[in-house]
Amino acid sequence: MKKILILIMITAMLFVTACAKKNDVIVDPPNNVPENALNNEEEKVTKEEPVMAPDFELEDLEGNMVKLSSLQGKKVIINFWATWCGFCVEEMPDLMKLQEEYKDDLVVLYVNVGESKEDVLKFVEKEKITGTILLDTKQQVAATYGVRNFPSTIALNEKGEVVTGRVGKLEYEMMVQMYEMIK
């Protein structure tokens, strides 16, 4: 009985502290609709102000510095992940497939959060992960973006504006929908 309780507690802790749930909330830019606009009988349409993605510069696995603002003109998907996150590992093949499918105008950035270069290199070689893998060893970029759960994915348009995002594991079809939302 004691072993079963310990197993249940460990499982619960993993769900709370490790990866986000599979279909958590979509994160959209803030809506600039005035509160009282919803109370009026007449429907008012307001235009949302674009939210610029905070710029950052991180090292990739080859030692090159990659700056987000240098990717303007391309659609960008930023995926925050960790090697210990099961959902992150599960969605990576689909992210690589998405990158390959839309390679002409899409860049997928895999931002590893809080792990050493050596650990990430071992993982990438073992799992045969390809793509632009960036190291946020001090977790500063993740903090700037408000990332608390893994995986977290954010889509940016060619101007560097946040279009949409999702916390939790994405299936390939969801990734394609996210890509198609980028205008």
Q: Which residue has the tokens 């009988």?
A: 41
Which pLDDT score is estimated for 50? 86
Instruction: Tell me the per-residue pLDDT of 85-134, one tens digit each, with 9 for 90 and over.
Output: 999 999 999 999 999 999 999 999 999 999 999 999 999 999 999 999 99
Q: Which residue out of 19, 85, 111, 163 is catalytically annotated? A: 85
Least confident of 37-46, 61-70, 82-91: 37-46
Coil, strand or helix: which one is 106? strand
User: Which pLDDT band, with edges at 50, 70 and 90, does 47 fall under?
Assistant: low
Q: Which residue out of 76, 88, 113, 133 is catalytically annotated? A: 88
Residue 162, CA distances (Å) to 8, 53, 90 in order: 39, 6, 25
Which pLDDT score is estimated for 155? 97
Q: Tell me the C-alpha distance between 164 and 176, whole Å.
A: 12
0.85 exceeded by pTM: no
Q: Is the model more confident about 9 or about 20?
A: 20
Return the DSSP state at 58: E
Task: For residue 66, report the phi and psi dihedrals to the nearest 5 degrees.
Answer: -115, 125
Residue 19 is among the residues annotated as catalytic for this protein: no
Per-residue pLDDT for 21 more than 90? no
C-alpha dihedral (37, 41, 47, 48), degrees to nearest 10: 40
Residue 85 is among the residues annotated as catalytic for this protein: yes
Which pLDDT score is estimated for 147? 95
Per-residue pLDDT, averaged over 60-82, amounts to 97
User: Which of 127, 18, 112 lies closest to 59 in space, CA to CA?
Assistant: 112
Pairing of strands 57-60, 106-113: unpaired
Instruction: Tell me the per-residue pLDDT of 137-181, one tens digit each, with 9 for 90 and over.
Output: 999 999 999 999 999 999 999 999 999 999 999 999 999 999 999
- E strands, the chain, where? 57-60, 65-67, 75-81, 106-113, 132-136, 152-156, 162-167
Per-residue pLDDT, averaged over 49-63, amounts to 95
User: Which pLDDT band, with edges at 50, 70 and 90, does 19 fall under?
Assistant: low
Supply angle C-alpha 150, 133, 71, rounded to 5. 105
Q: Is the model more confident about 117 or about 27?
A: 117
